[in-house]
Amino acid sequence: MQTDAIYSQLTAILREVFDDPALVARPDLAADDVEDWDSLSHLRLITTVQKAFGVKFSAGEIGRLNNVGDLAALIQVKAP
């Protein structure tokens, strides 16, 4: 899957999960950058991403995610 397509879809997902139409997925975007990004919204984000991209992440993979760039890279590796 193309990187641009991943970031485009992640932007839509971030806007939906955090109810913020101004959010834009970029590699350095992290939880500290988004006001409402807490543990519960993180779970919603990961669940939504898995459904949207048709992938499954292990707990270890999720634990190693530091920012949206890490998430995009993981999607690129796992997406069919």
CB atoms within 10 A of CB 17: 21
Q: Is residue 5 scored above 90 in pLDDT?
A: yes
At residue 80, the pLDDT reads: 82
Angle between helices 68-78 and 39-53 (to 10 degrees): 30
pLDDT band at 1 (very low <50, low <70, confident <90, very high): confident
pLDDT digits (tens, 9 = 90+) for 43-78: 999 999 999 999 999 999 999 999 999 999 999 999
pLDDT digits (tens, 9 = 90+) for 20-36: 999 999 999 999 999 99
User: What is 3-78's CATH superfamily?
Assistant: ACP-like (1.10.1200.10)
- At residue 61's C-alpha, the angle toward residues 9 and 22, to 5°, is 30
Q: How is the chain split into domains, by residue range?
A: 3-78
